[in-house]
Amino acid sequence: MNFSDSEVVASILKKEGYELTDNSKEANLVLLNTCSIRDKAEQTVRNKLKNFNSLKKQNNKLKVGLLGCMAERLKEKLIEEEQVVDLVVGPDSYKDLPNLLNEVEHNQKAVNVILSKSETYGDISPVRIHNNGINAFVSITRGCDNMCTFCVVPFTRGRERSRSPESIIREIYELSEKGYREVTLLGQNVDSYLWYGGGPKKDFIKASNEQKKNSKRFSNLLDLIASNFPQIRIRFSTSNPQDMTIDVLETMAKYNNICNYIHLPIQSGSDRILKKMNRLHTRQEYLELIKKTREIIPNCGISHDIMTGFPSETEKDHQDTLTLMEEVKYDFGYMFAYSERPGTYAARNFRDDIKKEIKQRRLEEIINLQQKHSKERNQRFLNLTCPVLIDKSSKKSDGFWSGRTSENNVVVFPKENYSPGDIVQVTIEDFTSATLIGKAKKKSLAI
Ligand code: 5AD
Ligand code: SF4
């Protein structure tokens, strides 16, 4: 999401005459787009800021700004705590950057952290930064209304709102004209997408009958994009179990160009912990959704987010998470130790009582199990031939391309005469837990 937001910011600044540079010594303005999801993300930013003191000594014109969730969470306090920072701008205030930079030019510090109920940046064509010209992110919703008790996002990104289908289609059209082959539709909770003319999702009940009748949900949006761009692969992230609907799965099954992959965070396999996290579904409901997914899209790649050491998590709760993983057998996963975030319901009401070593040990157990499952799941590709979109050179060997299957597995294979952006039929000959290894046969008509 930050990657996508940075592209919006680059577009706003380009109109003001700014140019991008890879060389921080050459820059007169450095903007750090920040994340607050875990404490470690914030500490990384604070460490990075130390480098800018010496850069400022070398270039007295240099200004430093902090954007994103950390800006929103800490506001003016960031200017007091980090002397090197001149500018603090929250995720909904990027259009105000030209004014704020003007203030900064006059040696004032500038802050705008006002959250909006309607801003989606739908009218801005993002400038693609460091992009391979093949895959791009397209933001479709902003904010989140879910209020999971551990999560800082509702505080830093505000109320949930959706972007107009027209502006989404326009952006994808521009990408397709430039030769892009894959888009990932982005939102904190894509299944909750709802366009009824603009404004917060919560106000949908106040919409007119006409607006309600013409409203578009996520499955409608997917249908619209998939049918308009048959040559573009479509992915989306993140899905939320309580908001994911069967019509989304059916739309995925209907179109070849919607990838067979769902990222479906669970966080914990214990009903007691799920309730305490305010995740609005049970373990059983989640497992039923997985079952339905595999009925409708038999080969679907499925990944998770899991968190260990949420307040009061017992060994029994942890075992519930491990058994849930055994039941689902995910293809991939993103795993974290709980990090208390100031201001959240959990921070205000529950003690962060699981020792660091225990969180870490549980995390390792989960990571090890996931690695085992990833390898088992990868086995199903052995000797199969599947379409792979080439997106870059393999990091490990220059003679190999790296690409992805529809199910989101990384595949490497000898380069031969193929090029990035090609979709090729690759026969899988070997695999590890992280990678499929194969040989390309020919360019693919299927995508
Ligand atoms: N501590 C640890 N992990 C967190 N996540 C969100 N908030 C926290 C937190 N306070 C994880 C969740 C979420 C992913 C984006 O980050 O697993 O799905
Ligand atoms: Fe945070 Fe929950 Fe919203 Fe995800 S769904 S962004 S975890 S509040």
Measured on CA atoms in the order 164, 169, 174, 178, is the torsion positive or negative?
positive
SS3 state at 366: helix
In angstroms, how far is CA 202 from the centroid of its own chain? 23
- The yes/no answer on whether domain 135-379 falls in CATH 3.80.30.20 is yes
If you average pLDDT over every residue of the chain, what do you get? 96
Ligand 1 interacting residues, C-beta cut-off 6 A: 37-38, 150-151, 265, 267, 305, 307, 336, 338-339, 341
Distance (Å, whole) CA 428 – CA 407: 14
Distance (Å, whole) CA 426 – CA 386: 5
SS3 state at 411: strand
The finding on whether 274 has its CB within 6 A of some atom of ligand 2 is no
CATH of domain 385-446: 2.40.50.140
CATH of domain 2-112: 3.40.50.12160
Measured on CA atoms in the order 209, 215, 217, 220, is the torsion positive or negative?
positive
Q: What is the pLDDT of residues 199-238, one digit of tens each?
A: 999 999 999 999 999 999 999 999 999 999 999 999 999 9
Domain boundaries, the chain: 2-112, 135-379, 385-446
Nearest to 396 by CA among 410, 378, 375: 410
The finding on whether 146 has its CB within 6 A of some atom of ligand 2 is yes
Report CA(312)–ligand 1 centroid distance (Å). Answer: 17
Strands 182-186 and 135-139, by their bridges, are: parallel
Number of H helices, E strands in the chain: 15, 19
| Reported pTM | 0.96
Q: What is the pLDDT of residues 361-419, one digit of tens each?
A: 999 999 999 999 999 999 999 999 999 999 999 999 999 999 999 999 999 999 999 99
Report CA(275)–ligand 2 centroid distance (Å). Answer: 14
